[in-house]
Amino acid sequence: MSDNAKLEASKATLDLGLNGEPVHYKGACHCRKIQYEFDHSEIKQIRECNCSICTQKGGRFVYTPGNRFHLTVGSLDDDMTAYQFNKKIIKHYFCSTCGCAPFGFAAGGKVIGINVRSMEDFDMKKVEIEYFDGANM
Ligand SMILES: [Zn+2]
């Protein structure tokens, strides 16, 4: 498959981790004022996006439905800032204390994109990286 064909195919499929036994994952921002957990089938692939903000922040993502994602420490309103730009479809949350960006909310919170760099015990070297052409959406 060519790179272009891969990018086209990736737009159509967003793996929300609903197929297969759920695994419990955890993560936090750097200062740990924000801590979260979510369920997702075993993560075998993560997404790197070339849009303007992902390029700047260097995040790599997995996705889960909003009802499978919970904050265990901290609150969106009190401890985080939501940055929005362009079409304002996504709330790019970052910790108001340490500035790290562990996740974003899309579609009003129906889909959460988790930056795997903020996850605990997650080895990016063991998964496939899907290069997503977010810059041209
Ligand atoms: Zn923090």
Both structure tokens of 112: 């959460």
Q: What residues form DSSP beta bridges with 104?
A: 92, 113
What would the pLDDT profile of 26-48 be if each residue is shown by its tens digit?
999 999 999 999 999 999 999 99
Q: How far is the CA of 44 from the centre of ligand 1 (A)?
A: 27
- Domain with residue 32: its CATH number is 2.170.150.70
Q: How far is the CA of 77 from the centre of ligand 1 (A)?
A: 14
Pairing state between β 128-132 and 45-49: parallel
What would the pLDDT profile of 68-93 be if each residue is shown by its tens digit?
999 999 999 999 999 999 888 899 99
The model carries a pTM of 0.87
Report the domain count for the chain.
Answer: 1
What would the pLDDT profile of 82-136 be if each residue is shown by its tens digit?
999 988 889 999 999 999 999 999 988 999 999 999 999 999 999 999 998 888 8
Strand positions, DSSP E, 33-110: 35-41, 45-49, 60-65, 69-73, 80-83, 90-95, 103-106
Q: How far is the CA of 74 from the centre of ligand 1 (A)?
A: 9
Q: Which domain holds residue 122?
A: 3-136
